[in-house]
Structure 1
Amino acid sequence: MAVLFKMPVLLGFFVGLMVLGLASSAEFHELFQPGWANDHFIYEGELLKLKLDNFSGAGFASKSRYLFGKVSMQIKLVEGDSAGTVTAYYMSSEGPYHNEFDFEFLGNTTGEPYLLQTNVYVNGVGNREQRMNLWFDPTKDFHSYSLLWNQRQVVFLVDETPIRVHTNMEHKGIPFPKDQAMGVYSSIWNADDWATQGGLVKTDWSHAPFVASYKGFEIDACECPVSVTTDEIAKKCSSSAEKRFWWDEPTMSELSLHQSHQLVWVRANHLVYDYCTDTARFPVKPVESNQSIESRIRKEEMGGYMALKGMHVGQC
């Protein structure tokens, strides 16, 4: 699909006053460790490569867990024929009632665009898939993929452009992921039973190994050692009169009008599937889907100087 135009990079989107924030911007081995298939890791200075062949994929995990903050890494996806492969980058807690935020890059045949699938699990329940193509070729260069998470929202970003927001709507009885620390993970694996055209196109192993490349590992979040209890985590990672985390600053609680315009642009030009509009799966529209980003923007624009006040972007 042709690119209509290049989305301007939003500079300084999540630059905030950091007070007692736990910042980490480091080499791979400082923040992460191999999770499986160590022989499928390639280290080239600050660059990490994971490879998938017909013997195995590979994956890595963060050494610590986190509750709130921002996680970023730069990824260059598998070039050429990547059909059947999935490169996943996500945050997740553990157990049957886990929380999880997913970036899943679904490979495709040569010349066809990658699809980026995002999903949100809360208390073990997912089924919130959205799929989009991107406004650039993610196999030609590195691009930044980030998750911002606080008590008000979860924001998925590509090159600092918001592509999805999951808002805290507990006031409507919808659970929000706010009490489980999560690890950070990435992997490359074979999923040709579903990844490309619903599984119609299989992995062509003659093109193996399939290689995804990584650099620019950044975690600026509240670190939670495995030994810390849930109550201790909540206390440790909540702002108070004595300490203030940057992600709890008012400017981090919602998107600005400009950021909401960017999100609308992404959805209008690149979204190809949204669970909120899938009536076959959801005959009754999900509760969190009953907000219109566009209508809120119109109201805010009419408000003039109040445009930056009170805007909450919904899940869909």
Structure 2
Amino acid sequence: MSSQDNYKKWCEIDFEFLGNVSGQPYALQTNVYIQGVGNREQQIYLWFDPTAAHHTYRFLWNQELILFFVDNRAIRVFHKATDLGISYLDYQPMYAIGSLWNGEAWATEGGRVKIDWTQQPFVASYTQWNVTDSCKVQNATGTAGQHACYKKAHQSTYGQAPNLALSKTQIKNLRWVRKNYVIYDYCTKNATATPECARNWP
């Protein structure tokens, strides 16, 4: 999902499939890009071959957290941390976008493995696409419609308990993913983690 706004206000939540070397697990990258600030990537190996069958990938985004799921298993959480000086995805219209793009300079094994163009055309397919409890913003440049949509999100089931905090099962899933499948985490890239990192790994 992307705001498609100017760069300084750019917001994005995404799943990115980074490809693999034949026989190796597929890497899935997630990112949270808020108000023009990104560099919050996390990468995991998937525990299945995503090209063999359709799987479910979804976000739960409300006023307290952004939760990423694969087949209803929580794989990542990004908690609201405005008290720590970290911006959050508030009052921001978003577009749902699907695409195939060339990331060979960095994607597969850090850019070591390039795209095999003899295998084209490359095809991605989607099924059971759904957006629940969303709100269409009539005027993306104004604030009235955005605030009305934000209020609607607060009042939806997704903006109410128990969705405002992690469940015991979600915490268990996040710990399982961290222990077994995380291969890159922006929080451990540098010696000094950004302030929200301790909050986002239960």
Is TM more than 0.5 here? yes
Q: Map residues 196-215 of structure 1 onto 2, 5 A cutoff.
A: 196-215=108-127
Q: Which amino acid aligns with 1:92?
A: S
Measured against aligned partners, the alpha-carbon deviations of 1:60-97 in whole angstroms (never above 9, x if no partner) come to xxxxxxxxxxxxxxxxxxxxxxxxxxxxxxx0112211
Query: Aligned-residue CA RMSD in angstroms?
Result: 1.8
Paired position in structure 2 for 1:143: 55
**Do structure 1's residue 122 and structure 2's residue 34 form an aligned pair?**
yes
Residues in 2 aligned to 1:108 and 1:157: alpha-carbon distance in whole angstroms: 21
**Do structure 1's residue 232 and structure 2's residue 145 form an aligned pair?**
yes
Q: Displacement, 1:226? A: 4.2
Residue identity (%): 41
**TM-score of the pair, normalised by structure 2:** 0.92
Decide whether the 8 Å contact of 2:93 with 2:146 is kept in 1.
yes
Which structure 1 residue ranges, 5 or more long, are not aligned?
A: 1-90, 292-313
Q: Which amino acid aligns with 1:290?
A: A
By percentage of residues, which structure has more strand? 1
Change (3 A) 1:203 1:153: same
Q: Displacement, 1:290? A: 2.6
Decide whether the 8 Å contact of 2:174 with 2:201 is kept in 1.
no
Q: Which amino acid aligns with 2:150?
A: C
Q: Map residues 85-104 of structure 1 onto 2, 5 A cutoff.
A: 91-93=1-3, 94-96=5-7, 97-104=9-16
Paired position in structure 1 for 2:174: 263
Measured against aligned partners, the alpha-carbon deviations of 1:273-311 in whole angstroms (never above 9, x if no partner) come to 1111112xxx422111134xxxxxxxxxxxxxxxxxxxx
Measured against aligned partners, the alpha-carbon deviations of 1:106-131 in whole angstroms (never above 9, x if no partner) come to 01222122100111011010001100
Aligned length: 199
**Do structure 1's residue 182 and structure 2's residue 83 form an aligned pair?**
no
**Do structure 1's residue 290 and structure 2's residue 198 form an aligned pair?**
yes
Decide whether the 8 Å contact of 1:222 with 1:237 is kept in 2.
no
Measured against aligned partners, the alpha-carbon deviations of 1:178-218 in whole angstroms (never above 9, x if no partner) come to 11010000101222111112222111111112222211111
Measured against aligned partners, the alpha-carbon deviations of 1:3-40 in whole angstroms (never above 9, x if no partner) come to xxxxxxxxxxxxxxxxxxxxxxxxxxxxxxxxxxxxxx
Greater RCO, CA 8 A, separation 6+? 1
Decide whether the 8 Å contact of 1:288 with 1:315 is kept in 2.
no
Paired position in structure 2 for 1:253: 164
Residues in 1 aligned to 2:198 and 2:100: alpha-carbon distance in whole angstroms: 35
**Do structure 1's residue 111 and structure 2's residue 23 form an aligned pair?**
yes
Decide whether the 8 Å contact of 1:167 with 1:315 is kept in 2.
no
Residues in 2 aligned to 1:315 and 1:166: alpha-carbon distance in whole angstroms: 9
Residues in 1 aligned to 2:176 and 2:46: alpha-carbon distance in whole angstroms: 12
Larger Rg: 1
Q: Displacement, 1:170? A: 1.2
Which structure 2 residue ranges, 5 or more long, are not aligned?
A: none
**TM-score of the pair, normalised by structure 1:** 0.60
